[in-house]
Structures are given as structure tokens and as C-alpha cells.
Amino acid sequence: MCRHLAYLGPPLALSRLLFEAPHALVRQSWAPKDMRGGGTINADGFGVGWYPAAGHPVRYRSDRPMWADASLPGLVAATAAGALLAAVRSATETMPVTSTAAAPFTEGPWLFSHNGVVAGWPDTVTSLAARLPTRDLLTLDAPTDSALLWALVRHRLRAGDTPAAAVAATVAEVSAAAPGSRLNLLLTDGASIAASTVGHALSVRHGDGSVLVSSEPLDDDPGWRAVPDGHLLVAGPAGLHLTPLGRT
Ligand code: GLN
């Protein structure tokens, strides 16, 4: 069920995390180790967003499997960044395979990804959707649960919520409206990372002025730590905080 990762720290070639690590994201697209909740591979598209030296993030996404994009390895080997978010997608049944349904979703400084499913989609989200401006509903990136979650998170960010507050509040309201949803959200503004664990795996490696959050560890470094289910992770190069969701 989708795999995603986010990195903050000294600039590195994007290919290190996407292709070169032993269990890099491309490997997680065809040989994921922990696909709880259904799905076998993540072949329904991918995306990568990174922060150039100045300005808003650059995003590249596709509806094809990550391993099938012949231009990607060269692009990411030649591109370095100190902050990035990337994802590979396994589309939930009934949801379209289209590039605009692939994470990361973006606006301004933010990059967002969702691993999971909103239970009872779309009937369970009627009341949540009604809280959004009509314009936001009519301009969703795609008719998917992840795109609606992004609209809900973005609505809070635009109103001034911190990334951590936006993630925690969205998880709370969607969990209440659609119990049993799997809501691993991942959000960065290029300076900090906020992530939730609700129903799916997430690991973190932190130290030496960098932090890497990933659905699955990228290697056998003993520094990887599993994030327990039901938590909010907030991380920057200097610190890492885990808080039980509901007490945030
Ligand atoms: N439900 C989302 C989608 O279809 C995310 C899927 C997943 O986590 N596998 O895009």
C-alpha cells in the first residue's frame, strides 16, 4: 500500500535514496517488505519532490512504475537537495491510475503524501468535504482519498496551522468520520517533517544533522527505529519527537 519517504539534512543526490540504497524506494516499488492492508507491489505511479537552493519545491510525478521511467535515474543522479519527499503508489481499488493521483501533492513550500485508505470512501467523507471551499473540491488533483486528504491538510496550512497541527487534526477528523481508515500522512515544508502512523509501517533514522523517515528502512543500519502505530512524528535535523495521536 504505497511507500513513502522524506529526508532533511546535508544535500545529497536524490538517487541515493531512490535508487542506490540497498532497499531504496525503487526496490520498495517492486519488492516491498511490509504491505499490510493489501496490495503486493507499488506500480501505479510515483513522484518525487525536492527543494532547490531557493524557492518552492520542484515536483516530478508519473502514472508509470518507478522502475519503468528510463529518464529518472539520470535526472535524480544529477540533482542534489537537502530536503525531499518521494512516494511510490499502489492504487486503492476503484481509484484511478493517473499521474495526478501520485504523491507528492504540493502547494507553495509544502509536499504531502498519504499511505493508506479512507474507509467507506467516498460516502464517509461527505461532512468533511462540506467544510472545504467549493473551489478546493472542484480542483482536487484526482478523485482519490489521498487528494481529498491533501485538500483538508492544505486548508489548515493556509489558515496558519503548523505542519504537525495540520496532520494531527486531519487524522483526528478523518478517523472520527471514517473509522478504520489507514492514515499514514507525510508532510514537509523543507525545514521539518510531520508524519502520522495509523495502520501502516514507518521507520525513522536520525543523527549527524539529518533525518530520514521511510515506510521501510533503506538499509540495515542499526540506527533505524520503528515508529509505533498511532503516533505523530515531528522531526528536523536537530530533533525528533514522537507523540501519541489524540494527545497532540
Ligand atoms: N488510497 C490511496 C491511493 O489510491 C493510497 C494508496 C496506498 O497507500 N496504497 O492513491
Tell me the pLDDT tens digit for each residue of 107-144.
999 999 999 999 999 999 999 999 999 999 999 999 99
Residue 239 to residue 62: CA distance in whole angstroms: 33
Closest protein CA for atom 9 of ligand 1? 1
Q: Which residue type occupies 13?
A: A
Residue 192, helix vs strand vs coil: coil
Rounded to a whole number of angstroms, the distance between the first and last alpha carbons of the chain is 26
- Give domain 3-244's CATH architecture: 4-Layer Sandwich (3.60)
Query: For residue 235, what pLDDT is reported?
Result: 96
Do residues 157 and 145 touch, judged by C-beta distance below 8 A? no
Higher-scoring residue by pLDDT: 32, 58: 58
Task: From 100, 145, 174, 200, give the residue whose CB has the most ligand 1 atoms within 8 Å, as the site to mutate.
Answer: 145
9, HSE (Cβ side, Cα atoms, 13 Å): 17
Give residues (CB < 6 A) around ligand 1. Answer: 1-2, 39, 89-92, 95, 101, 114-117, 144-146
Closest C-alpha among 45, 52, 108, 105 to residue 78: 52
Tell me which DSSP letter residue 36 carries. T
Atom of ligand 1 nearest to the CA of 103: 10
- Residue 2 appears among annotated catalytic residues: yes
The mean predicted confidence, pLDDT, of the chain is 95
What is the whole-number distance in angstroms between the Cα of residue 207 and the centre of ligand 1? 30
ipTM of the complex as predicted: 0.97
What is the whole-number distance in angstroms between the Cα of residue 54 and the centre of ligand 1? 31
35: pLDDT confidence band, cut at 50, 70 and 90? low
Task: From 144, 184, 197, give the residue whose CB has the most ligand 1 atoms within 8 Å, as the site to mutate.
Answer: 144
Cα dist from 21 to 15, 146, 217, 220, 221, whole Å: 9, 27, 10, 10, 11
Residue 103 to residue 169: CA distance in whole angstroms: 20
Quick check: pTM over 0.80? yes
What is the whole-number distance in angstroms between the Cα of residue 53 and the centre of ligand 1? 31
Query: For residue 38, what pLDDT is reported?
Result: 67
All cell numbers assigned to 239: 530533533
Let me know how long the chain is.
248
Q: Is the peptide bond before 65 cis (omega within 30 degrees of 0)?
A: no
Average the pLDDT over 71-87 and give the result.
98
